[in-house]
Structure 1
Amino acid sequence: MKLYHREIGEGKPLIILHGLFGSSDNWMSIAKELEGHFKMYLVDQRNHGQSPHSDEFNYAAMASDLNEFIEEHGIENPSILGHSMGGKTAMNFAINHADKWDKLIVVDIAPRAYPVHHDTILKGLKSIDVDNLKSRGEADKQLAEYIKDMGTRQFLLKNLARKSDGGFEWKINLPVIDKNIEAMGEGIEEQLAIEKDVLFIRGEKSDYIQDKDNILIVQLFPNSEVKTVKNAGHWVHAEQPKALLEMVTEFLEVPYNA
């Protein structure tokens, strides 16, 4: 699948993968802080952003997409940063293509399986009558019946696009995401240890990476470390960008001036 992407910066290659319901522009502010050190490829994963839609939606397919993207663009030995779903994609790719990457950064996701926990978000998104929608404000009002947090609603409604002939449509492939949401919680069953440098970054207020996950993390990635960003939840890059950047630049061995 030919994925849509944004390029920014010059230097060593760094690929950035967004999370579920996200897109490449979620990481643009972080990328701008790194553009003096890296040539970054901010990728829209399948069924998200401006990339194609497909009925196939699982980590095997998305890891294959990433491999195809790297080969298509002739990217040699990139570092890869993935948040949440993007982190799972990156880990699946890293295990199956250990010779095609340099360093790996996984933001607030562990290799383990997760129960489905996006029911409310999906119900809220499906409740929006897109075909008859008159404004974003109207969409926000409908979504607020399910999701009280304004920041979360604003993030989700970035997936709402105006059509050229008027009206609105979803950028995300909502029916397929809804149908395959259990696949997004699947763990990594491969037990082949990868002897490369990996950094896991977790939010202090998030429960996505727990202390008990360290056992599985070390089994898969013996040369890994887990660092915690204080006062951050799951969206670490949005809540504490400075702290995240300090950890990322130290790991990738480039200077960072806040």
Structure 2
Amino acid sequence: MSETVELACQSAGAGPALVMLHGLYGSGNNWRGIARQFEAGHRTLLPDLRNHGRSPSHPDMDYRRMAADVLALLDREGIDRASLVGHSMGGKVAMALTLTAPQRVERLMVVDIAPMAYDHSAEHGRIIRAMRELDPGMLRRREDVDSALAESIPHAAVRQFLLTNLQRQGEQWRWRIPLDILADQLPVIQGWPTGLGTFRDAPVEFIHGGVSGYVDDRGRAAIAKHFPDAMIMSYAGVGHWVHAEDPKRFSTDLHTFLSDNNNP
């Protein structure tokens, strides 16, 4: 196994550890609004996964290795066990960590993803290609970068999310995520490792958007295979970004989940 990456991480609050993992193109900041609501009773950790945010780049994005990065973070922070919340790619990292190091997991919540391979290569390939073909250093303002992406990426909300990866370097803009690595590793990111077993040692809950499509019948079968005691909850009318589209309900459900003393 390759070496771990030392993840950049925001930490706040005090109490039992709550680790929140972001999705593709994101960063720990994606969870900031939700995490603030839990800092009174939890020590919240919002890491940037490898090749994202302020964390280092690495050419390998295998989920076992990304899970090892988070375990190394727990070790550095002196945390024996943590509750995990992960969205999309971060949900796969959280599941891989749970299945490879179950003794480190207090409970697990997975947001709009299942333990299976997906094929969204057309969508993500188009996004990464558009970002790679654009040289933000040639443009003066963030609005100019947004306009330049609009033809290839018509959804304004998606562009605004991607623009969180735009950084000022001197007098020029640059992308802070390694687009070449993400393009190369896209099949790995969309995939799911073989050989991972079953977990039923702590509470597990899956929350998914009712109009997202990421947790369909195949996804439910995959969840049952690896997490047979998991609860599955659907938010009607909500898409892939469950916690951003319905943050009030999500925060309430997460609070209930973390406070529930019942065993699976």
Look up the match of 2:204. Answer: 198
Inter-partner Cα distance in structure 1 for 2:157 and 2:135 = 21
Look up the match of 1:226. Answer: 232
Inter-partner Cα distance in structure 1 for 2:242 and 2:161 = 14
Does the 8 A contact of 1:15 with 1:40 survive in 2? yes
Look up the match of 2:164. Answer: 158
String of CA shifts for 1:2-29, please: whole Å, max 9, x gaps: 1101112222110010000000111100
Question: What is the SS of the residue equivalent to 1:80?
Answer: strand
The structure 1 residue matched to 2:241, chosen from 226, 235, 238, is: 235
Does the 8 A contact of 1:231 with 1:240 survive in 2? no
Deviation at 1:38, TM superposition (A): 1.1
Matching of residues 97-116 of structure 1 within 5 Å: 97-115=101-119, 116=121
1:50 aligns with 2:54: yes
Look up the match of 1:8. Answer: 12
Does the 8 A contact of 1:13 with 1:76 survive in 2? no
Inter-partner Cα distance in structure 1 for 2:130 and 2:252 = 35
The structure 1 residue matched to 2:91, chosen from 87, 93, 99, is: 87
Percentage of pairs with the same residue: 36
The structure 2 residue matched to 1:127, chosen from 123, 133, 146, is: 133
Inter-partner Cα distance in structure 1 for 2:69 and 2:111 = 20
1:25 aligns with 2:56: no
Deviation at 1:68, TM superposition (A): 0.8
String of CA shifts for 1:108-145, please: whole Å, max 9, x gaps: 00001101241221122123212322211111011101
Matching of residues 169-208 of structure 1 within 5 Å: 169-195=174-200, 196-208=202-214
Number of residue equivalences:
253
String of CA shifts for 1:86-110, please: whole Å, max 9, x gaps: 0001111110001111100110000
1:78 aligns with 2:82: yes
| Aligned residue type for 2:166 | L
Deviation at 1:191, TM superposition (A): 4.6
Consecutive unaligned residues of structure 2, counting only runs of 5 or more, are: none
Look up the match of 1:245. Answer: 251
Inter-partner Cα distance in structure 2 for 1:130 and 1:212 = 40
RMSD: 1.3
Question: What is the SS of the residue equivalent to 1:232?
Answer: coil
Inter-partner Cα distance in structure 2 for 1:180 and 1:191 = 20
Look up the match of 2:41. Answer: 37
Inter-partner Cα distance in structure 1 for 2:14 and 2:94 = 22
Does the 8 A contact of 2:13 with 2:44 survive in 1? yes
Inter-partner Cα distance in structure 1 for 2:24 and 2:217 = 23
Inter-partner Cα distance in structure 2 for 1:247 and 1:119 = 34
Inter-partner Cα distance in structure 1 for 2:19 and 2:229 = 20
